[in-house]
Structure 1
Amino acid sequence: MIVGNGQVAAGAAATIDAADFVVRFNLSRNTGQSGTRTDAVAVCNTGRPANEMLDGPEWRESAPVRASREIWSVRDPEKFAGLRPQLAISHPELDDFCDDRTEGFARFAAESGKLHRIIPAAVHEAADTALAALGAGSYVVPSSGLVTLFHVLSAPEHSGSDIFLTGFSHEGWDGHPFAAERRLVAGLAAEGRLHLLASPSAPSQGT
């Protein structure tokens, strides 16, 4: 079960908590409404979101993070280091976007007895390829939600699993290609590669 930060349907909490593995994102602000089970927290490990999580107590002491067994850094450090020069030209306002805090998340995970994973650059690039096929046009990076979904779809440990997605409205920061992501997710669902747990339309806070 991959749970975005948007609203979920009434009554979905029990279904989410009954899953074998639940992934949430960043501050996981809809925990409670979307159940409480959390096995992994996928984080934006660069830039301002990373700073917000690591530099204050809210994220570290939140119920989902405390409950989790794994922390997933969604942004491969080498991939984002490679993006920095081109973003300096195309998006100079994003001067801190690629600032890497992966070691901070790895250290927190080790100190907390959790497994830390870095989602490989190849997963990000597979998402880019799929988005290009849908005519996504110009964007900064795929959303953390999409990269995480592609990771779960390709991870051997989840092979053969029924994968559910909920809490995603595919709306938010304009640096993500949300319209194309919506089409991509719908296509994957139509192919039977994932299932959509019905959720009302609501801002997804970047996932």
Structure 2
Amino acid sequence: MRAIVGNGPLGGRDRERIAAADHIIRFNLTPNRLQGERTDELFLSCSSKQIGEYLSNGIFRDDPAFRDATRLVMTYHPDIIRYYMPQPNLLSRLIGRRNDWSALCEKIAAERGKETETLPAELYRAACEILGIDIEREAFFPSSGFLAVLRELQDAPQTSRLEIFG
């Protein structure tokens, strides 16, 4: 069984099922993860202000989910971030804010010996089509969780069961 674990509340039974999974996917800084709980893949939304703050403050490098994950997945392809995600205003850029932290996340992952993957731009476009989002006109986008589910449905072995938690 493959487990996709969102950042919502988890009960004891959920944690047991997750612990028994063959593969565990989590997101960003995993506020519901307890010490010692496994993370195989950590999906990162490298276009968010939050990730930028975590990187700047060193929180990201010390986060147990990041430290324990064997693989980091950059949820949004740099082309998607560049063309469709909101850009920081001039003042924000002057103080160091940017909208794409992918390269820095990949660098940190490489320093820690972790595998990385960037989801293809085509997956994002397919997700928008499935959700009925007109990416040329609308200012919202598929979540990391939806993209993870879509990737798993496309790439995971057909014999593998997928369960979603939190």
Q: TM (normalized to structure 2)? A: 0.83
Identify which range, 55-64 or 99-108, moves more after superposition: 55-64
The 8 Å contact of residues 14 and 165 in structure 2, kept in 1 or not, is answered as no
1:37 is aligned to: 38
Q: Deviations over 1:157-202 (max 9, x none)?
A: x2221111111xxxxxxxxxxxxxxxxxxxxxxxxxxxxxxxxxxx
Tell me, yes or no, if structure 1 residue 4 matches structure 2 residue 6.
yes
Would you say how many aligned residue pairs link Structure 1 and Structure 2?
Answer: 155
How many Å separate the matches in 2 of 1:23 and 1:80? 22
How many Å separate the matches in 2 of 1:82 and 1:19? 36
Gaps of 5+ in 1: 168-207
How many Å separate the matches in 1 of 2:82 and 2:106? 18
The code of the aligned residue for 2:151 comes to: H
Write out the 4+ residue segments of structure 1 that deviate beyond 3 Å after TM superposition. Answer: 95-98
- Give the RMSD, CA atoms, in angstroms: 2.5
The 8 Å contact of residues 75 and 144 in structure 2, kept in 1 or not, is answered as yes
1:185 is aligned to: none
Q: Deviations over 1:15-57 (max 9, x none)?
A: 1011011011111010029x71100110111130220232122
User: CA distance change for structure 1 residues 98 and 140 in 2, over 3 Å: closer, same or farther?
Assistant: farther
Q: Deviations over 1:58-117 (max 9, x none)?
A: 222122111110011101101121125xx57xxx8xx87971111101101110010011
How many Å separate the matches in 2 of 1:19 and 1:98? 36
Report the secondary structure of 1:72's partner residue: strand
The aligned runs of 1:1-207 (5 Å cut-off) are 1-32=3-34, 36-83=37-84, 87=86, 99-132=99-132, 138-155=138-155, 158-160=156-158, 161-167=160-166
How many Å separate the matches in 2 of 1:9 and 1:116? 30
Report the secondary structure of 1:117's partner residue: strand
Q: TM (normalized to structure 1)? A: 0.67
How many Å separate the matches in 2 of 1:82 and 1:10? 42
User: CA distance change for structure 1 residues 98 and 54 in 2, over 3 Å: closer, same or farther?
Assistant: closer
The code of the aligned residue for 1:159 comes to: P
